[in-house]
A and B are shown apart, each in its own frame.
Chain A
Amino acid sequence: DAGITQSPRHKVTETGTPVTLRCHQTENHRYMYWYRQDPGHGLRLIHYSYGVKDTDKGEVSDGYSVSRSKTEDFLLTLESATSSQTSVYFCAISRGRDYGYTFGSGTRLTVV
């Protein structure tokens, strides 16, 4: 019972195709986040959500969109994948600013 799961774990896709990554939580936490991790850049915030249908952009949001139609699911969509979006994507959840974070296992996305 991980509390947070990401799917898929690995994906290879072609340039120009749409891709959706899913983050699912069973903790009923309010906050959900999508990060990407790249060598030399560390973890960078793409988008985050502070409630159902409430989302906001992070520092590297261009080319990405998100949706949160229910508490437990936070979807990250690459409308038209590019090679620069090849990365490892992590989802995280948190109860709030005075609480810790729990990270998913990551999704390794390769855009060819």
Chain B
Amino acid sequence: KNEVEQSPQNLTAQEGEFITINCSYSVGISALHWLQQHPGGGIVSLFMLSSGKKKHGRLIATINIQEKHSSLHITASHPRDSAVYICAVPIQGAQKLVFGQGTRLTINP
């Protein structure tokens, strides 16, 4: 069983739709990371959060430590949001990340 599970694996939506990507994890963590990777591109860190909610522009990340679950939301989605979104958690006590498989998001105009 993977320590980090993301859903859905693939998501296609129309421009303007509200997007939700989910991440569940099985280990105790101090923080959770959301990353973004555009096709053929590098990996960019979007958020690191340990509780509550963080917002950056149209992106919102939430985490529920008790339920071991995090969500990434995109409001008013745009084709440039098309990318793979990856959730990652540190292995407790170690300075190493475990990654989810990623969610491939496609926003059509």
> Which A residues fall within an 8 A CB radius of B?
31, 33, 42-45, 48, 50, 58, 90, 92, 94, 96-106
Contacts and interface: CB of A to CB of B under 8 A. Distances in A.
Contacts, number: 50
Given A96-B95, A101-B97, A43 B30 contact: no
B99 interface: yes
Contacts of A98: 30-31
Given A31-B95, A105-B41, 4 more contacts: A97-B30, A97-B31, A97-B95, A103-B45
A45 B48 contact: no
B31 A45 contact: no
B96 A94 contact: no
Contacts of B42: 90, 103-106
